[in-house]
A and B are shown apart, each in its own frame.
Chain A
Amino acid sequence: MSQVPSELRDEIPSFEEAPPKQDHGPIDWTGLTSVRTAKSALEIGTIIALAAGLFFLIQGILEWTNEPEYVIPRPISVVRALGTNFGTQYGHHLWVTFQEFIIGLAIGSTIGLVLAAVITQKPFVEKVVAPYIIILVTTPMLALIPFLRLSIIQGFSMWPIVVAVALASGPMVLINAATGFRRTDLAKIALARSYGASTFQIFRKIRFPLALPMIIVGYMVGSIFGLLTAVGGEMVSASDQGGLGHQLIYFSSIVRTANFGAVVVIISLLGVAIYVIFYFIGKRWASWES
């Protein structure tokens, strides 16, 4: 009777006691996808009012203490710097950083996702690979960029930063996706098997959808680490194109704090935009879980 599928491994799922729900990896990142957001006009209005209040409060305190502009920039100067320089200067650097980030994330996450799907099939492989994944997760990859520029990818292209972004985001996608793929629901696999599903069909129609919420969490965490690495990498060793991190170093070295503040604002807005995109992806594809 060799046709009995290995997935079912002679275990009959027990329904009396639900299997322990392991919804997250070593660190619980799942909260990222389930932040409670404002819905009513009152809530949104209060958020905007709070932002405006903070803006004018800081402005007022700085005017009152008469702090010099080069120590702490006035919020209004930051906004002015954004308005005048975005089209001529910041836009270009935003595009450079975004390219490094998105190409690195695409490469890193694809490799991470495929590796996660492969290693979770074999517990032995998973155990052997685990220490290396932890090294990859914990090593700050932007430290590698000067080395990459000198040795493997010589020169002032953006590729060393792209590689660092991939190395930073990939393992994050990998560990979270692996957690997702490890959630094997024997009853659902048995259901598919009873209709004659192939191993690939079980992967595509059961394992993958089951893992999807964790994969999205992985992408969210991975993109946060990726953006951090891209900006940090540019601060350490930018390409000849510059980038937002390079602009931070540049403006702080010539004590242009308003411009510095403007770049920080752009980086945070980029981070928020990435978060929001994955939040809505999560809402669309993984809302069945919550």
Chain B
Amino acid sequence: MEASPNGRVVRLRAVKAGKVYVAKTGNVIALEDFSLDVADGELVCILGPSGCGKTTLLWAMSGLHALSSGQILLDETPITGPRPHEIGMMFQDANLLPWRNLRKNIEFPFEIKKRPTDRALIDRLLEEVGLEEFQKAFPRELSGGMQQRASIVRALAQDPDVLLMDEPFGALDAFTRDEMNLLLLRLWSETRKTIVFVTHNISEAIFLADRVVVMTTRPGRLAKIFDVELPRPRTIDMTFQPGFIATIQEIKAVVESGYKHTVEV
């Protein structure tokens, strides 16, 4: 296996990935010539404005959608469909099944895979995210943050090697989002999963990531990759430091260079 720029084994690789959506009004190029290596145990954030193809890229990585050109490799083998044993996917909003209680939601993947439920692991994860008392509750009885924590437990209980996260905290308020980001970093530091995290929030991306991959919109292309030098463990305080804010501005400039600014008042 090849080594990534930082010397670790490459887990997930996008090779000249491209995606064209065929629509009646014309073809939309959602993703073009996108290449990226994600190292084992790395936390990469993919950042870009709405419609830049970042979700398309993530769905292709998960094997849920096919690419029009190029390919995604997991441990050097092409992904042609879902990989339930290696890849875990977390969706925008918690995506819990409303007719199942929290516990049954977490057990759902076990049922699909026809595997015995790993009760001990679920219990431990529930305790870790502070949901052990809400196992019987239905999703509508839980707050957005609690639903999202349940969704994390559902994904981690499958013990995937790679976790793909599609703007999981996008719908949460700023305080809950900070809390979820800290929780995610804590769980990641314990498990060292490979994580690809898609977001449109610059400070969230910097706060979480080893590397921030910035994309431009239409067609979705890789604009620039930023290495985040912040030490770990990270704290919310770091987000107020001048270095952090400078990085935000630097990334913002790259994102905005992709736009043609025409401000009409």
Q: Please determine whether chains A and B interact with each other in the same assembly.
A: yes
Shortest CB distance A104–B (Å)? 30
Pick the residue among A191, A201, A288 that contacts B99 (CB under 8 A): A288
Contact partners of A15 in chain B: CB under 8 A: 92-93, 167, 170-171
Pick the residue among A10, A16, A195 that contacts B113 (CB under 8 A): A195
CB-based contact A191/B66 at 8 Å: no
Pick the residue among A193, A206, A210, A289 that contacts B64 (CB under 8 A): A193
Q: Mark A1-12, 1 if CB is under 8 A from B, else 0.
A: 111110010101
Interface centre among A15, A195, A206 (most CB of B within 10 A): A195
Pick the residue among A12, A187, A194 that contacts B87 (CB under 8 A): A194
Pick the residue among B64, B82, B92, B111 that contacts A205 (CB under 8 A): B111
CB-based contact B112/A197 at 8 Å: yes
Pick the residue among A191, A206, A212, A289 that contacts B91 (CB under 8 A): A191
CB-based contact B82/A1 at 8 Å: no
Shortest CB distance B72–A (Å)? 10
Does chain B have a CB within 8 A of A190?
A: yes
CA distance A193 to B97 in the complex (A): 14
Pick the residue among B65, B85, B95 that contacts A4 (CB under 8 A): B65
Q: Mark B56-75, 1 if CB is under 8 A from A, else 0.
A: 10010011111100000000
Does chain B have a CB within 8 A of A106?
A: no
Q: A190 with B91: in contact, given A12-B59, A196-B82, A196-B112 (CB under 8 Å)?
A: yes
Contact partners of A201 in chain B: CB under 8 A: 112
Q: Which residue of B lies closest to A16 (CB)?
A: B50
CB-based contact A194/B67 at 8 Å: no
Q: A10 with B91: in contact, given A201-B112, A206-B97, A209-B97 (CB under 8 Å)?
A: no
Pick the residue among A8, A12, A196 that contacts B55 (CB under 8 A): A12
Q: Which of A196-231 contact B (CB under 8 A)?
A: 196-197, 201, 205-206, 209-210, 212
What residues make up the interface of B, taking CB atoms closer than 8 Å to A?
A: 21, 50, 55-56, 59, 62-67, 80-82, 84-85, 87-89, 91-93, 95, 97-99, 108-109, 111-113, 138, 140, 158, 167, 170-171
What residues make up the interface of A, taking CB atoms closer than 8 Å to B?
A: 1-5, 8, 10, 12, 15-16, 187-188, 190-197, 201, 205-206, 209-210, 212, 286, 288-289
Q: Beyond the given A15-B167, A187-B95, A194-B64, could you list 5 further A-B residue pairs with CB under 8 A, ordered by the A residue number?
A: A4-B81, A5-B64, A15-B92, A195-B84, A196-B85
